[in-house]
């Protein structure tokens, strides 16, 4: 955990080097990255490496909004034009599905309390999904990725029904 920020900077720097290499092909435009994270270093990292913006993983809309304000401030300090693309990830498990086993296992490295908090934040019904969509939109989110926490393909249909598709 202690070196992951430096590791990410090294990875992103190397990607820029590779994409700038004309041996790959002069007609190939490099992809625009969206950098994630929830600490000040990640907000600044999102302004570098020709990033298109920032993504929040698993934050509630109010914390997303506060973090996005910090990203925008870092964007301005870095002299970047325009606004960063703002994205978020929210978890869901609809119907009888239980998000806890997946999320507590996945986030177990953060400790039981944090893993349980993340698991309990997952949308469990259509109304919560609609609330998430509206709240993230109001918070300035350009794209919300709703991520199922169970491996049941029916979750896609339940999500579509929840958002009225």
pLDDT in tens, 51-66: 899 999 888 899 999 9
* Contact yes or no for 161/126 (Cβ under 8 A): yes
Please state which CATH number belongs to domain 32-163.
3.20.20.30
* Contact yes or no for 72/107 (Cβ under 8 A): no
Task: State the helix-helix crossing angle for 154-163 and 126-138, rounded to 10 degrees.
Answer: 60
CA distance 109 to 111: 5
pLDDT in tens, 79-136: 999 999 999 999 999 999 999 999 999 999 989 998 998 899 899 999 999 999 999 9
Q: Residue 49: enclosing H or E segment and its boundaries?
A: none
The phi and psi torsions of 67 (rounded to 5 degrees) equal -70, -40
Residue ranges of the domains in the chain? 32-163
Three-state SS for 54?
strand
């Amino acid at each position: 955990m202690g070196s992951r920020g430096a590791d990410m900077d090294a990875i992103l720097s190397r990607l820029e080097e590779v994409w700038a290499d004309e041996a790959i092909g002069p007609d190939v435009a490099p992809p625009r990255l969206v950098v994630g994270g929830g600490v000040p270093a990640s907000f600044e990292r999102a302004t570098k490496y020709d990033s298109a913006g920032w993504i929040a993983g698993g934050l509630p809309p109010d914390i997303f909004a506060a973090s996005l304000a910090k990203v925008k401030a870092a964007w301005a300090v870095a002299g970047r034009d325009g606004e960063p693309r703002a994205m978020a990830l929210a978890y869901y498990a609809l119907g009888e599905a239980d998000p806890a086993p997946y999320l507590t296992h996945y986030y177990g490295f953060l400790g039981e309390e944090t893993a349980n908090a993340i698991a309990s934040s997952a949308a469990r019904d259509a109304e919560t999904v609609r609330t998430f969509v509206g709240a993230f939109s109001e918070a300035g989110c350009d794209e919300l990725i709703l991520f199922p926490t169970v491996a049941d393909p029916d979750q896609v249909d339940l999500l579509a029904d929840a958002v009225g598709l």
